[in-house]
Chains A and B, each alone.
Chain A
Amino acid sequence: MWKWLHPYAKTEEAYKLSQTLLPWFGISALIALVAGFAWGLLFAPADYQQGDSFRIIYIHVPSALMSMGAYSAMAIAAFIGLVWQIRPAFMTMIAIAPVGAVVTFVALFTGAAWGKPMWGTWWVWDARLTSELILLFLYLGVIALYKSFDDKQQAGKAAGVMAIVGVVNLPIIHFSVEWWNTLHQGATISKFAKPSIATEMLWPLLISLFGMAMYIGYVTLLRLQNEIIRREAHRPWVIALMREDKE
């Protein structure tokens, strides 16, 4: 049943697949992010309590949700690498980490810029904000741990264990607004309930969310290719490939 997956354990096949997927992710990320932001900034109605400051939601919620989504993807890649010893899995893990860190930073920064006018402070040490900050440190920790080993298979194992252990932080982030008293508002979109947001405001949010996911996919594929080239630099197919698209 899963046999079609096996060729992609080879770095050459994984590279070819990522090359095919790359433009699709890039184009859909660009279109969805531009459309979602423009719709959210220009056409969505203002919030009855927060006025136009609520428009920060169109970058804050997608980045915050996807910072957790990217972390799950990274942990799944780490798990596959540890259990089945598939080399491109660790390469995918380390390709996701930097873009995950950037998206987490975006979530924290836009949250601060939204908190200042609405709460009167850029930052509070409450559960939601602190656990999201820990997520950023987890991403940075995975990157640092991976860099500190010269043997990259060993590095993948060590960083992979850290990535998997860090998954415990994800439910903490998600439920932090329910478990503790916090300044942060509750969930806007939830799988289990009707969204607490008007439809005219929801559509651009969903489009930006999709765009953010595609953006993370695009950067991940780009960095996965880099990692494959770095690790396989002496293979004939890499040398041929690098000669082929010499600018």
Chain B
Amino acid sequence: MHFSSFSDFIAMGGYGFFVWLAFGVSIVAMLMIIGESLYQRKSLKHYVHDEVKRKARIAAMKDKQRSEQEA
């Protein structure tokens, strides 16, 4: 272990602000793109489900119209 105490570790020999700024912003940015990808996946899932339902509705409507015309 290079540092003797936790406050030493946070201070980073006086460069704490720059070191933690660099690591903090980077890690947040790297996690944000993962979050965005997972959110995209979720909305795609909804989109696929909605499309299936929409197709089913259209098919049902066409069936209904056909049977009404035949009657």
A interface residues, Cβ below 8 angstroms from B: 37, 41-46, 51-53, 55-56, 59-60, 63, 98-99, 102-103, 105-106, 109-110, 113-114, 116-117, 215, 218-219, 222-223, 225-226, 229-230, 233-234, 238-239, 242-243, 246
Interface pairs (11), CB distance under 8 Å:
A41-B9, A42-B1, A53-B12, A55-B12, A56-B18, A56-B19, A219-B37, A222-B41, A225-B41, A229-B44, A242-B49
Number of residue pairs A-B, CB distance < 8 angstroms: 103
Instruction: Given A56-B18, A117-B15, verify A43-B33 contact (CB < 8 Å).
Output: no
A63 (CB) vs chain B CBs: closest residue: B26
Inter-subunit contact A233/B26 (CB<8 Å): no
Instruction: Given A110-B22, A233-B48, verify A222-B37 contact (CB < 8 Å).
Output: yes
Q: How far in angstroms is the closest Cβ of chain A from B33?
A: 5
Inter-subunit contact A55/B37 (CB<8 Å): no
Residues of B within 8 A of A116 (CB): 18
Inter-subunit contact B13/A46 (CB<8 Å): yes
Count the B residues whose beta carbon is within 8 Å of the partner chain — how many? Answer: 32
Partner of B33, one of A60, A98, A225: A98
What is the bound-complex CA distance between A51 and B40, given in angstroms?
A: 42
Instruction: Given A37-B23, A46-B2, A63-B26, verify A52-B13 contact (CB < 8 Å).
Output: yes
Inter-subunit contact A219/B41 (CB<8 Å): no
Inter-subunit contact A229/B3 (CB<8 Å): no
Inter-subunit contact B45/A55 (CB<8 Å): no
What is the bound-complex CA distance between A223 and B41, given in angstroms?
A: 9
Inter-subunit contact B15/A52 (CB<8 Å): yes
Q: How far in angstroms is the closest Cβ of chain A from B9?
A: 7
Inter-subunit contact B18/A239 (CB<8 Å): no
A225 (CB) vs chain B CBs: closest residue: B41
What is the bound-complex CA distance between A110 and B26, given in angstroms?
A: 7
What is the bound-complex CA distance between A146 and B41, given in angstroms?
A: 19
Which residues of chain B from 1 to 56 have a CB within 8 Å of any chain A CB?
1-3, 9, 12-15, 18-19, 21-23, 25-26, 29-30, 32-34, 36-38, 40-41, 44-45, 47-49, 51-52
Partner of B25, one of A99, A109, A239, A242: A109
Inter-subunit contact B12/A233 (CB<8 Å): no
Instruction: Given A43-B1, A55-B19, verify A106-B26 contact (CB < 8 Å).
Output: yes
Residues of A within 8 A of B47 (CB): 233
Inter-subunit contact A102/B30 (CB<8 Å): yes
Residues of B within 8 A of A98 (CB): 33, 36
Instruction: Given A53-B18, A60-B22, verify A226-B44 contact (CB < 8 Å).
Output: yes
Residues of B within 8 A of A103 (CB): 30
Residues of B within 8 A of A234 (CB): 51
What is the bound-complex CA distance between A46 and B40, given in angstroms?
A: 42
What is the bound-complex CA distance between A42 and B9, given in angstroms?
A: 7
Instruction: Given A219-B33, A246-B49, verify A52-B19 contact (CB < 8 Å).
Output: yes
Partner of A109, one of B3, B26, B32: B26
What is the bound-complex CA distance between A59 and B33, given in angstroms?
A: 17
